[in-house]
C-alpha cells in the first residue's frame, strides 16, 4: 500500500490485517510505502498494527523505496496521491500526480508479481491508474484498475433509503465513467428486491435531480460536513473492490470497477472507465448486452469524454 500513513491508510490497514479483504484463511504481509518525511508517522501505524495482534498478520515492512513496497506484491493499493491545492490548475495536478504514478508504474513493472491486482484510489484515480499502467511496460495492462466502488456503495444506500429497503436488497448497481462529478450512477439496470429500481422509484425528477447529483457530489458533501475527505468509507470500498476481484461476485449481481475499456458500450478503448463487472476465479469481465437508452448514452458519453480529455492532457505532458 502506498500513502500508508494517510487517513485512508489508517482505516484500510486494520481492515486488511483483520482478514476483511482476502478472507479469513489468507495470511497478510503488509509492505507499506510512504514519502521519507512520513516514515516516522508510518512507524506509529506499524506499532498500532503490532499492538492489535492480528492472527493473520505475518509481516509489516515500512519503506520509502517503491521496489521494496511492490516486491512480489499480489495486491497493490495505490492510495497516496497529490491533492489539488488552492489555485492549482488541472495540468499542475495531473503533472504532480504523474511524478508519483509514473515511477510507481515502473516499479510495479520491475518488482510486483506478474498477476498483481492493482487498485488506484488516489485522485484523479482513473487517470493516475492510466499513468501507472502505461509506465508498467512488463505488466498486462488489465492488471490496473481504479476505484469507483465507493460511488457504487453510495448509490446503493441512496436508493435503499429512498425505497425504505435494506441495502442488501439492492443488486446490479452500476457506476459508469470517471470517479468525478461526471460519473453516471445508473438505476435503469439496478434491481431492488428483484424489481427494476428505476420503476420502483417511479420518480424521474428524483433520479435526475436528486439521486444522480447526490452520488456525484457526495465526496464534496463529506468534506463540508467532516472538514476532511471521506476516509473510512473509501477504505471500506477498497476492501470491497479487491475482495470482489479476488473472491468473486455473487450469482445475479455485479459490481462497479474502473478498468481498461475494450470499447464496450462505445467507451473509447484504452481509457480506464467504470463498468458493471462480474468477477470469477480472480478475473473481471464487463457485463455485456445491457440496453442503453438516449438518457444514459448522453451521460456515459460525457464522462468518457472527460476521461479522454484527461488522457490527452497527460499524453501532452509526456506522462504516458
Ligand atoms: P492523506 O493526505 O491523508 O494521505 C495520503 C498519504 O499519501 C500521505 O501520508 C502522503 O505522505 C502519502 N504520499 C504522498 N505521496 C506519496 C508517494 N509518492 N508515495 C507514497 N506515499 C505518498 O489522503 P487520504 O485521505 O488518505 O486520501 C488519499 C487519496 O485518496 C487522495 O488522493 C484522495 O483524493 C483519494 N480518495 C479517493 C477516493 C475514491 O473513491 N477513489 C475516495 C476518497 C479519497
Annotated binding residue at 104? yes
**Which atom belonging to ligand 1 lies closest to the Cα atom of 42?**
9
Q: How far is the CA of 297 from the centre of ligand 1 (A)?
A: 32
Q: Identify the residue whose C-alpha is closest to ligand 1 atom 35.
A: 122
List, edge to edge, every strand of the sheet that includes 75-78: 75-78, 117-120, 144-146, 255-260, 272-280, 283-286
pTM greater than the 0.95 cutoff: yes
Return d(Cα 44, Cα 248) in angstroms, integer. Answer: 34
Q: Is 80 in the pocket of ligand 1 (CB under 6 A)?
A: yes
Q: Is 213 in the pocket of ligand 1 (CB under 6 A)?
A: no
Annotated binding residue at 122? yes
Q: Identify the residue whose C-alpha is closest to ligand 1 atom 27.
A: 8
Q: Identify the residue whose C-alpha is closest to ligand 1 atom 1.
A: 6
Q: DSSP string covering 147-159, please?
A: --HHHHHHHHHHH
Coil/strand/helix, residue 299: helix
Coil/strand/helix, residue 254: coil
Cβ 19 vs Cβ 26: under 8 Å: yes
Q: Is 304 in the pocket of ligand 1 (CB under 6 A)?
A: no
Q: What grid cell was written down for 167?
A: 441495502
- Interface confidence, given as ipTM, is 0.98
Catalytic residue at 179?
yes
pLDDT digit string, tens, across residues 201-256: 999 999 999 999 999 999 999 999 999 999 999 999 999 999 999 999 999 999 99
Which residue's C-alpha cell is 460519473?
183
Q: Is 33 in the pocket of ligand 1 (CB under 6 A)?
A: yes
Residue 87: per-residue pLDDT: 81
Return d(Cα 213, Cα 220) in angstroms, integer. Answer: 11
pLDDT digit string, tens, across residues 58-69: 999 999 999 999
Return d(Cα 296, Cα 219) in angstroms, integer. Answer: 22
User: What domains, with CATH codes, occur in the chain?
Assistant: 7-146 (3.40.50.720), 148-315 (3.90.110.10)
To the nearest 10 degrees (0 to 180), the angle between helices 7-17 and 39-51 is: 30
Q: State the average pLDDT over residues 24-53.
A: 98
Amino acid at each position: 500500500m502506498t500513502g500508508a500513513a494517510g487517513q485512508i491508510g489508517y482505516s484500510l490497514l486494520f481492515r486488511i490485517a483483520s482478514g476483511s479483504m482476502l478472507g479469513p484463511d489468507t495470511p497478510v504481509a503488509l509492505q507499506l510505502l510512504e514519502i521519507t518525511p512520513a516514515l516516522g508517522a508510518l512507524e506509529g501505524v506499524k506499532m498500532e498494527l503490532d499492538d492489535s495482534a492480528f492472527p493473520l498478520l505475518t509481516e509489516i515492512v515500512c519503506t520509502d523505496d517503491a521496489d521494496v513496497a511492490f516486491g512480489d506484491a499480489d495486491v497493490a493499493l495505490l492510495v497516496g496521491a497529490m491533492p489539488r491545492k488552492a489555485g492549482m490548475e488541472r495540468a499542475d495536478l495531473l503533472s504532480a500526480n504523474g511524478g508519483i504514478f509514473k515511477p510507481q508504474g515502473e516499479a510495479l513493472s520491475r518488482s510486483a508479481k506478474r498477476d498483481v491486482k492493482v487498485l488506484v484510489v488516489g485522485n484523479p484515480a482513473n487517470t493516475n491508474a492510466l499513468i501507472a499502467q502505461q509506465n508498467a511496460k512488463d505488466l498486462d495492462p488489465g492488471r490496473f484498475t481504479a476505484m469507483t466502488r465507493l460511488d457504487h456503495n453510495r448509490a446503493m444506500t441512496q436508493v435503499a433509503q429512498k425505497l425504505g429497503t435494506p441495502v442488501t436488497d439492492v443488486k446490479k448497481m452500476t457506476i459508469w465513467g470517471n470517479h468525478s462529478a461526471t460519473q453516471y450512477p445508473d438505476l435503469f439496470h439496478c434491481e431492488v428486491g428483484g424489481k427494476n429500481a428505476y420503476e420502483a422509484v417511479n420518480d424521474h425528477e428524483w433520479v435526475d435531480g436528486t439521486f444522480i447529483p447526490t452520488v456525484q457530489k457526495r465526496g464534496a458533501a463529506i468534506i463540508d460536513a467532516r472538514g476532511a475527505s471521506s476516509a473510512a468509507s473509501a477504505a471500506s470500498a477498497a476492501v470491497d473492490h479487491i475482495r470482489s476481484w479476488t473472491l468473486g461476485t455473487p450469482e445475479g449481481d455485479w459490481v462497479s470497477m474502473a478498468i481498461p475499456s475494450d470499447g464496450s458500450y462505445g467507451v473509447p478503448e484504452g481509457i480506464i472507465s467504470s463498468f458493471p463487472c462480474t468477477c470469477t476465479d480472480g478475473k473481471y469481465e464487463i457485463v455485456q448486452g445491457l440496453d442503453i437508452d438516449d438518457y444514459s448514452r448522453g451521460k456515459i458519453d460525457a464522462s468518457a469524454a472527460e476521461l479522454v480529455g484527461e488522457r490527452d492532457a497527460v499524453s501532452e505532458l509526456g506522462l504516458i
